[in-house]
């Protein structure tokens, strides 16, 4: 019995020692110095993730020059990474939009962004091929496997970038169109995101993967917001705006981190290079344009949550301030009213202003209630006596209004009033009413209507994609 107890005790002691040794070995493994090449790669992708494209490019080029005796795989990957940094700079600054192609040298010529990324892709594919033909033995085998694995995942990354760049080029081309199909754009983005989800997931690539995900998520949320506002759906539009704002703020933290790094290393020098890239600035501007539109389309619902003076101050901060412009127009031109009318015919889920519980039920509106005033100035209520006339004009002149660049004029001798109508998008009509007769050739009135309706379409926002664009 004693011997048995002694044997069990001995086995437990051996197990404890063995377990202690394994724990110590794992601890030592964690504390083992990171291979030099891995540290270089991590530093490069950290810089790329903070949009320090020039620094990242210079870093790997310098490393390539100082490690000429290194293996061919390492040298080839460094060359590809230098070109990737240059491609990323062109991509984020949107310098490829609206360019004339042609030229001489590799990155000084104005190649299409597709050509640039395809060239990087081919370089990376060579790195992968080199790794496959390298004998699988020796101390460098683990490193070569890592480099090939990263090159393979970066091939997917360059393909994803190419497809998103194509998306931006097509979107920019739609800037002059009367309408932009935002639902189609969202569908295209979601397809790309699904296609490349988890295709470049290595921890070393986490920064670029995170930035890619943030960019596409923000753009999807903003375009979804555009869809929801156009259908006059308050809560879904609000949630999309909030999600986009949250993700843009997270993205902004990366620029702040870059500024702090520069301040620490260089004493606050090179302030110009620490500015966010044009792509981020454009997403901010698009968000601002949608916030302005949201504030106008849901002005009544938002006004219930605060005092009139505070609401006026809040909308004054949007660009453009649609409500403020309409108020100024009424004062300047002595208009009786300005109203935005929503045609909810065929909208089975329509329930009126603001948020409604998803399971609440309301009888579908009939008659004039199928044409509620989204917003109406100056009184806040639609001009009831004029509403049958407004609906009649919308029905009789539908073809002209659907052209989206036409101002419809109508004078009613019975009520001694003049009506001007223009349509920003299919379900909405902007109506200006004057007491007495006004000429249909009054340029101030037509200019106001065309400017506001054109701005509400938000197609102009896509022209801002090109650096230096006005508006």
126 CB-contact burial (10 Å; exposed 0-12 / middle 13-18 / buried 19+): middle
Query: Residue 296 CB: number of other CB atoms within 10 A?
Result: 25
Alpha-carbon distance of 219 to 131, in angstroms, equals: 37
Does residue 370 contact residue 345 with C-beta atoms inside 8 Å? yes
- In tens, the pLDDT along 402-444 reads 998 899 999 999 999 999 999 999 999 999 999 999 999 999 9
DSSP helix/strand/coil, 412: strand
Residue with the bigger pLDDT between 254 and 175: it is 175
- Residue for token pair 């040794």: 21
CB-based contacts of 277-280 (< 8 A; 24+ apart in sequence): 277/51, 277/89, 277/92, 277/93, 278/92, 278/93, 278/94, 278/467, 279/91, 279/92, 279/93, 279/94, 279/215, 280/92, 280/248, 280/251, 280/252, 280/255
Tokens representing 320 are: 């453009």
Asked if 161 contacts 91 with a C-beta cutoff of 8 angstroms, the reply is: yes
Q: How many CB atoms lie within 10 A of CB 198?
A: 8
**CB 192 within 8 Å of CB 145:** no
* Residues whose CB is less than 8 angstroms from the CB of residue 61 and which lie 6 or more positions away in sequence, other chains included: 78, 82
pTM of the entire structure?
A: 0.85
Rounded distance, CA 373 to CA 301, Å? Answer: 12
pLDDT tens, position by position, 220-256: 999 999 999 999 999 999 999 999 999 999 888 877 7
pLDDT digits (tens, 9 = 90+) for 294-346: 999 999 989 989 998 999 999 999 999 999 999 999 999 999 999 999 998 76
What is the C-alpha to C-alpha distance for residues 289 and 282, in angstroms, rounded to an integer? 10
Per residue in 45-84, pLDDT (tens digit) is 999 998 999 999 999 999 988 876 678 899 999 999 999 9
């Amino acid at each position: 019995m004693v011997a048995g107890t002694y044997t069990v005790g001995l086995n437990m002691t051996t197990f404890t020692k063995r377990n202690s040794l394994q724990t110590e070995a794992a601890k030592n493994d964690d504390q083992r110095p990171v291979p030099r090449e891995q540290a270089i790669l991590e530093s490069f992708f950290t810089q790329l993730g903070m949009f320090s494209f020039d620094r990242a490019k210079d870093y790997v080029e310098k490393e390539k020059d100082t490690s000429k005796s290194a293996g061919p795989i390492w040298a080839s990957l460094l060359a590809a990474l230098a070109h990737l940094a240059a491609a990323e700079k062109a991509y984020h600054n949107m310098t490829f939009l609206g360019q004339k192609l042609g030229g001489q040298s590799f990155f000084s010529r104005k190649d299409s962004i597709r050509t640039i990324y395809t060239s990087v892709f081919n370089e990376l594919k060579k790195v992968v091929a080199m790794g496959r033909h390298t004998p699988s033995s020796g101390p460098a085998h683990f490193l070569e496997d890592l480099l090939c694995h990263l090159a393979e995942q970066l091939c997917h990354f360059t393909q994803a970038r190419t497809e998103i760049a194509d998306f931006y080029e097509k979107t920019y081309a739609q800037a002059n169109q009367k309408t932009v199909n935002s639902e189609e754009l969202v569908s295209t983005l979601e397809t790309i995101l699904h296609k490349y989800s988890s295709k470049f997931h290595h921890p070393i690539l986490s920064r670029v993967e995170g930035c890619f995900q943030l960019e596409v998520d923000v753009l999807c949320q903003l375009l979804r917001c555009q869809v929801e506002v156009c259908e006059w759906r308050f809560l879904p539009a609000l949630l999309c705006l909030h999600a986009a704002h949250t993700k843009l703020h997270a993205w902004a933290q990366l620029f702040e981190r870059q500024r702090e790094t520069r301040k620490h290393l260089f004493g606050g020098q090179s302030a110009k290079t620490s500015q966010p890239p044009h792509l981020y600035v454009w997403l901010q501007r698009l968000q601002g344009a949608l916030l302005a539109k949201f504030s106008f389309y849901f002005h009544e619902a938002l006004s219930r949550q605060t005092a009139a003076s505070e609401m006026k101050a809040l909308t004054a901060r949007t660009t453009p301030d649609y409500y403020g412009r309409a108020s100024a127009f009424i004062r300047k031109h002595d208009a009786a009213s300005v109203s935005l009318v929503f045609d909810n015919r065929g909208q089975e889920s329509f329930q009126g202003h603001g948020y409604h519980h998803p399971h609440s039920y309301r009888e579908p509106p009939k008659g004039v209630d199928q044409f509620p005033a989204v917003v109406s100035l100056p009184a806040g209520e639609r001009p009831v006596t004029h509403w049958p006339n407004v609906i009649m004009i919308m029905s009789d002149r539908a073809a002209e209004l659907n052209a989206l660049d036409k101002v419809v004029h109508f004078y009613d001798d019975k009520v001694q009033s003049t009506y001007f109508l223009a349509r920003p998008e299919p379900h909405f009509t902007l109506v200006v009413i004057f007491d007495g007769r006004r000429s249909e050739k009054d340029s101030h009135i037509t200019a106001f209507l065309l400017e506001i309706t054109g701005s509400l379409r938000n197609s102009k926002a896509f022209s801002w994609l090109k650096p230096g664009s006005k508006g």
